[in-house]
Every structure is written in C-alpha cells, then in structure tokens.
Amino acid sequence: MKRLNGMDAMLLYSETPNLHTHTLKVAIIDATSYDIDHDSPYSFEVFRRTIARRLHLLEPLRYRLIDIPLRFHHPMWLENCDIDLDYHVRTVSVPAPGGRRELDEVIGRIASTPLDRSRPLWEFYFAEGMPDNRYALIGKVHHTLADGVASANLLARLMDLAGAAPDERDHYTTCEPPTRSQLLAEASRDHLQKAVEFPGLVSQAVRGAVRVRRRTRDQRGGDEMAKMFRTPPTFLNHVVSPARTFATAPVSLADLKETAKHLGVTFNDLVLSVAAGGLRELLLRYDGRADRPLLASVPVATDRSPDRVTGNEISGLAVSLPVHIDDPLRRVRLTALATKRAKEVHDLMGPRLQGRMMEYLPPPVAPSAFRWQAQHAAHNRIMNVAVSSVPGPRERGHIGGADVTEIYSVGVLSAGSAFNMTVWSYVDQVDISVLSDDQTFDDIHEATDAMLHGLAEIRRAAGLPAELRPVDTAMAPATAVAP
C-alpha cells in the first residue's frame, strides 16, 4: 500500500459531478507500415495484447483506491491489483468521415463522464473508423494517479522507443487487501509524523511570505500585470458544466524554437505568449473587450525523475498573461517578465510548499467544501485559465508495432474556469490540446485556431514568415465552423 500525498488527495477531493479530475492522453497511430510488415492488420486485439503484456511496467494502472475507515486520513493505493481488461480497454467508433473534428468530438464525450472509483482509475479506448489506416488510442487516467511528468514516463513504457528492447510478460503478482486495523494503525502513525512537521511548515510559509512581500515591494512595472485574487470576469469563467469539449492542433516544433530563439525568450515563455495572443482574440470575439491581464495557472514539476510513473509532484506558477496588449512583441516581453517574477515568487515560497500544505486537508470536510465551490463558483479569483507545457518523447515511438504520429494531453478544469490548454512536444512537433465545457464556445476549434493565429502574429511582428510549417505526419487540421 502507499498513501496519497497532499496534491494527490486534493485532486481526488476536488472531483465533483461537474468537475472531473481525470486527464486525457491521446496517441494517433498510423498502421501503414505495420500492415505491410505483418500477415494481419493492426487491430484492437493487437493493442489489447500490448497493454496486457506491459501491465507489469505500468504499475499505477494496477492501483485501486482504498478509503480509510471514518475518513481518518487520506485514502491509500492498494498495489498490484487484478485488472479486468474487458472493462478497462474498449473500442469506440469515430463517425464518418473520421477526421480530426470527429475524433475530437469523440474524445470530448469520453472526457464528459467520471471514472468508477471502485475500480482502478483508468480507461483506454481504441478508436476505429478513421481514414488512411489511422487509429487513435485515448487514455482517460485520473489525475490522482499521475501528473504530467509521470504520465510522460508511463507513455514511454507503453511505447517502443527507438533502440529499446520490449519488456513483456504474461504473469505478475497480485494484491492482498489490508484489514481495517492495519489501515487505522498506518493512518495514526502518519498523523503523528505530520503533527511533528506542522510547526516547521508554518514557519517556512511565514518566512516565504515575508520574502515575497519584500521582493514585490522592490519590483517595478507591476501595474501592467494581473493581481492575485483580482482576476477579471470573462466568458471563460463561470460555473462549469459536466459535459466536455476538446480540440487539437499540431504545430511544427521548428516554428516555435525558431521564434523563441529569434526573440531571446524561453520555449515556455513563447508558449505562454501564444496563449496570451490566442486568448486576446477569443476575448475580443466573445466579450467584446480584452482590457485587463488574465492570470494563468501554470503547473511545474518538483520531481522530473525519468523513473517516476505515479503521483503528483507538482506546484504551480501564477503567471500574468497580457491579453490587454495589442502589440505582439510587447506581449512577448511582458509575458517573459511575468514568468520570471512568478518563478521568483515560487522559489521564495519554496517549490514544495503547496504540496506539503495539501497534506493537511481534512478528509471529512474537504470533498463537501470542493463540491460547494464547484457548484457555486461563477468566478475564480485565483486563476482565469490553466496553461501547461510538457516535454514528451524526443524519439518516434510505436505501440504494438504501429507508428505513433501525434500525442495529445490535457489536464482538468477548475471551479469557475472552463479553459485548459496543454502543449505536448513530440519529436519534431508540438501538439496543442484545449479542454472546455459545452457552455463556453460555439465551436471549441475556435480556441485552437486562435492559438495558431497567435503564433503566426508573433512571427509576423518579429520579421519571420507568418505561414506556419505543415506537420506532414499529422492528421489534417480542423478549423472552426462559422456560426
């Protein structure tokens, strides 16, 4: 057994009927070379067999949630559980003509229902009905199981990367459920340890707050940046509905790297600048104005170990996005400055402070508090949007022997915030995903279109070619349909 850490527990407690806390991992497969090299075509059975023979490498997929009696502590993971693959691995059909728009709609429907907590918290879907010998593998994995880094490492274990020998087997050990007394005894020991640690944690938080206050007092240019707890109301911020919409778009990694290098900013600075430009376009369209900076929640990993495949070792930056600035290059400069300052605040407070504070969430009352917030929060004072950037595999991979051509990933929606964008780099491309609910956009692909426009706008202003390079290995793009 292993106990959920504070961030894991928070992601579990914050799940409500309208705020699901599973993440999505989508791999697009091109089976052309597989079908040439094999006597039978690529199929659901090939994928299912791959999952079955690699379960020993995908440890979190064999975890099952165990509640502590009387909610005396955070739940625990029961490890090495039996898996019913007939339940967890399924097929789904993509409607004709089977392109990106139809696939994104299927993924949105899959994302709209919660996972069954009585079972291991994941489902995989094998999507059929796509042209050009393509398939999609859609993973729905609870965020409590794995953050972005752990998910990337899990995906690497599922895929055959160049030069790696497959590690497969048909048998593995299974679990033995704990007794009630064992659960309570373990919880008591952990509570005692946390009680000893609490004074030091409070002292660290106070010292960090003092350092941040001193640093903030010395900084200039804060008037153009979003203020904590003063986020502006926007069409993106409302009580989130249970249904989800999803959109994807691939971009050439070369375009992003070239632009970042030309402007002297980091890759992540540029991603956030693209988000600021895209969000400005959307705000002007839906709200008729973009006159105040937004506040973006940007997760950062506190443990980037390539061997970690489970848990949430993350913290977060609060980054001001200058959507109120019309000049694209000035937006880039302000975004880079805002990111730098957010990192300074994060480091002054302590990168692991957020996660450690979450350890003290009270299990008896936390779920009810989060449920009330989810049902009533029409405005989120801590964040307007979530934007993530995750480095994926640098080598092209295969699943069951078929080529993986695109990888998409996205996190969760938060109370009062119906926009989450994640960019996942893979070999020579960057795959953009946007998650929202069904009450926010007329067409969710307006969001991905706006992000591509945001990148092109920055490149044009920087004197670079505005026309973006096509990603030849990816499916054809889907653009928004005019209302």
> So which residues are the catalytic ones?
143
Contact 376, 19 (CB under 8 A): no
Cα distances from 193 to residues 197, 207, 363, in angstroms, run: 6, 22, 17
Question: H-type helices in 164-179, by residue range?
Answer: none
Provide φ and ψ at 49, rounded to 5°.
Answer: -65, -35
Extract the tokens encoding 245.
């919409």
Lookup: tokens for 73 = 């502590």
Beta strands 76-78; 134-142: pairing state: unpaired
Q: Which of 394, 269, 284, 238 is nearest to 335 (CA)?
A: 269
In 3D space, the residue among 312, 104, 355, 318 whose CA is nearest the CA of residue 225 turns out to be 318
Among 441, 458, 447, residue whose Cα is nearest residue 271? 458
For residues 64 and 119, the answer to whether their CB atoms sit within 8 Å is yes
* CB-based contact 418:436 (threshold 8 Å): yes
Angle (CA) 330-332-335 rounded to 5° is 110
Residue among 227, 330, 316 nearest 277 (CA): 330
- The upper half-sphere exposure of residue 195, i.e. CA atoms within 13 Å in the direction of its Cβ, equals 7
Distance CA 240, CA 410 (A): 17
Peptide bond just before 364 cis, omega within 30 deg: no
Q: End-to-end alpha-carbon separation of the chain, Å? A: 52
| Whole-number Cα distances in Å, 177 to 71, 91, 181, 388 | 17, 31, 12, 37
On the CB side of 458, CA atoms within 13 Å amount to 33
